[in-house]
Structure 1
Amino acid sequence: MSDSSSVPTPDVTYGVIGLGAMGMGIARSLFAAGLPVIGCDVAVSARDNFAAAGGRTLPSPLALAEECSVVILVVVNAAQVDAVLFGEDGLGGLAERLAPGSLVIQCATVAPAYAVALGERLQEMELELLDAPISGGAAKAACGQLSVMASGRVEAFSMAEPALGAMAANVHRLGDAPGVGSSVKLVNQHLAGVHIAAAAEAMALGVRMGIDPQRLYEVITQSAGNSWMFENRVPHILEGDYTPLSAVDIFVKDLNLVHDTGRDLRLAMPVAASALQQFTAASGMGHGREDDAAVIKVYAATAGIDLPATNDANHDREREE
């Protein structure tokens, strides 16, 4: 975990809402750093997992309001953020119950315009927002080594510092208002989605030409064509293990956000659009909840190539949301 120069304030309790692979790692990192933390998830199994590690849990976000002045949202999308903060019908959510001056650290990948509007809405309610999408995957979340792309007021950064110090190796301070952090995250997701789709296409090409996929992986990872995503995702294909760490449908969502933002800016992004179509096709084929490496199954179906068989013994990885 990264060092934090601030001393945790004894009367601050941190709430983590969303105990998937990423949120669980964050909650456990805060707990390991000695910060008072309460985990919350709709899934009983997720709460039980955090409790088994020694952490406290509550079943409802609303219950956190009475104990927490810093709440970290590690949910999937803007709709879930709204549901937690403002209720399913726009009324009666967590934001209404938090004490004035409380902080919301929002970690989901959302449209920059949404992050700006959320910051304004919370400020009207006398709450602070740190726009803080995260990157690094479940493994780095578990050891407090995430990268955080953050923007918000000085007051928000100050309140968030102990939590950020526990959960992240790199905290990028990108601006003094929400929106910038989410903008940078969209650039990251553009590249991540394109690189995964390109890795799948390249492997499909190699297999179609009759190259041994394991040997191809070994060569490419030692050559200029390598990328972090190629090196990280192709083993899922080689193992025939599509247990989701980050699912196909995550990139359908994120690349749609990229596409929509580009359209609003009148910026053509044909490479991102092509990757989006491949992920959309994979989802349409029924692979939306599989690991994002399953985008290669589009090529398998259209080109008639044989992929390594699914290995059920490998299906023990946790989901990343």
Structure 2
Amino acid sequence: MPNVTAVFGLGSMGYGMAQSCLAAGHITHGFDINPDAVARFQSEGGTPGALSDIAGTLDTVVTVVLNAAQTETVLFGDAGIVARLKPGACVIGCATVPPDFARDMENRCQAHGVHYLDAPISGGSVKAAQGALTMMAAGTPAAFAAAQPALDAMAETVFELGDHAGPGSAMKAVNQLLAGVHIATMAEALTFGMTQGVAPDQFLNVISKCAGTSWMLENRAPHIVAGDYTPHSSVNIWPKDLGIVLDIAKSASFSAPITAAALQQFIAAAGMGLGGEDDAAVAKVYARNASLALPGDDT
């Protein structure tokens, strides 16, 4: 029988993950606070149905929401799904959350006879739609086994990092430290180059072939060159994610000054009203401060 999956959160990542489950032959339900996203997914083959009617049929629940609070609401809020799942169903938690929160979700799911896999994701919206994500996963062997059909559909690489929740979220925090810093540093370098007569397209063409490149530079700098800030991953993600990194660092008595500096740039971008734009828009903070005109800037 096909796996019955529900994806909660049909944003840029979750929508692609739901499409990947559908392409793999799963019966796939999609839920989101945006009814247009739900309607679009159902028009592409997603299975309709009220949550109250289909909860007991689910084999797998995938949460791709913004943060820990939203994850907890989906799982254990007033209309929480966990209490209505059948024994042996599996929750795959993909949001970036603190490791302690992931461990708490595992314990609370297990109290209902439900497996929990701590499985943050990386790879971007394109790989999500291709079923080619990287997952940093931790959970019991039974949780991995229950999650396997969905993992096969959504991910190209699954790192098994521990036999209980927590290590997956810890590794995601490490990744987000680097990813956030790399985006902010890319924006700083690109705009610094502009002060020396290096055009953004020239910056991208040259530096992407040099030792100073990064995956984030090669992925995000083209957005600046095109002047297109359609959000694939928004500015608003980073105050949350880098905030989690710094909270973990504080609890470990670890100083992370470069992370803190990057965080301030994303906070500044959000303060400029750019929170809903692609995270490459952090370059606009540097451009404003240096009176530079980025591509597509009519000012």
Is 1:15 the equivalent of 2:6?
Answer: yes
The 5 A counterparts of 1:171-186 are 171-186=158-173
Structure 1 residue ranges, 4+ long, deviating more than 6 angstroms after superposition: none
Q: Which residue of 1 aligns with 2:73?
A: 83
What RMSD, in angstroms, separates the aligned Cα atoms of the two structures? 1.4
Q: Tell me the SS of whatever aligns to 2:248.
A: helix
The superposition leaves residues 229-264 of structure 1 with CA deviations (integer Å, 9 ceiling, x where unpaired) of 111111111111111110111011100000110000
CA, structure 1 residues 63+80, in 2 after alignment: closer, same or farther (shift >3 Å)?
farther
User: Quick one: which amino acid aligns to residue 287 of structure 2?
Assistant: A
Q: Which residue of 2 aligns with 1:55?
A: 46
* Mapped contact 2:2–2:25 kept (Cα < 8 A): no
Q: Tell me the SS of whatever aligns to 1:286.
A: coil
State the 1:36 CA deviation: 2.0
State the 1:63 CA deviation: 4.1
The superposition leaves residues 94-133 of structure 1 with CA deviations (integer Å, 9 ceiling, x where unpaired) of 1121122221111111111110111111112221100011
Give me the whole-angstrom Cα distance separating, in 2, the residues matched to 1:84 and 1:191: 29
User: Quick one: which amino acid aligns to residue 81 of structure 1?
Assistant: T
* Mapped contact 1:41–1:59 kept (Cα < 8 A): no
User: Quick one: which amino acid aligns to residue 295 of structure 2?
Assistant: P
Q: 1:190 aligns with which of 167, 174, 177?
A: 177
Give me the whole-angstrom Cα distance separating, in 2, the residues matched to 1:192 and 1:180: 18
CA, structure 1 residues 107+63, in 2 after alignment: closer, same or farther (shift >3 Å)?
farther
The 5 A counterparts of 1:1-321 are 10=1, 12-58=3-49, 60=51, 62-87=52-77, 91-309=78-296
The superposition leaves residues 197-243 of structure 1 with CA deviations (integer Å, 9 ceiling, x where unpaired) of 00000011001112222112111011111111111111111111111
Give me the whole-angstrom Cα distance separating, in 2, the residues matched to 1:213 and 1:303: 15
* Mapped contact 2:3–2:149 kept (Cα < 8 A): no
Q: Which residue of 2 aligns with 1:319?
A: none
Residue segments in structure 1 that go unaligned for 5+ positions in a row: 1-9, 312-321
Q: Tell me the SS of whatever aligns to 1:66.
A: helix
State the 1:42 CA deviation: 2.2
Give me the whole-angstrom Cα distance separating, in 1, the residues matched to 2:179 and 2:206: 21
Q: Tell me the SS of whatever aligns to 1:15.
A: strand
State the 1:92 CA deviation: 4.3
Q: Tell me the SS of whatever aligns to 2:92.
A: strand
In the superposition, the TM-score normalised over structure 2's length comes to 0.96
Residue segments in structure 2 that go unaligned for 5+ positions in a row: none
User: Quick one: which amino acid aligns to residue 182 of structure 2?
Assistant: H
Give me the whole-angstrom Cα distance separating, in 2, the residues matched to 1:59 and 1:188: 36
Q: Tell me the SS of whatever aligns to 2:57.
A: coil
Q: Which residue of 2 aligns with 1:3?
A: none
State the 1:268 CA deviation: 0.3
Higher relative contact order (CA 8 A, sep 6+): 1
Percent identity, aligned pairs only, is 49
User: Quick one: which amino acid aligns to residue 65 of structure 2?
Assistant: V
Query: How many residues get paired?
Result: 298
Q: Tell me the SS of whatever aligns to 1:289.
A: coil
* Mapped contact 1:50–1:57 kept (Cα < 8 A): no
Q: Tell me the SS of whatever aligns to 2:48.
A: strand
Give me the whole-angstrom Cα distance separating, in 2, the residues matched to 1:181 and 1:231: 26
Give me the whole-angstrom Cα distance separating, in 1, the residues matched to 2:2 and 2:153: 17
State the 1:11 CA deviation: 6.3
Give me the whole-angstrom Cα distance separating, in 1, the residues matched to 2:277 and 2:146: 37
Give me the whole-angstrom Cα distance separating, in 1, the residues matched to 2:109 and 2:153: 25
User: Quick one: which amino acid aligns to residue 33 of structure 2?
Assistant: V
CA, structure 1 residues 212+92, in 2 after alignment: closer, same or farther (shift >3 Å)?
closer
Give me the whole-angstrom Cα distance separating, in 2, the residues matched to 1:276 and 1:220: 24
Give me the whole-angstrom Cα distance separating, in 2, the residues matched to 1:57 and 1:148: 27
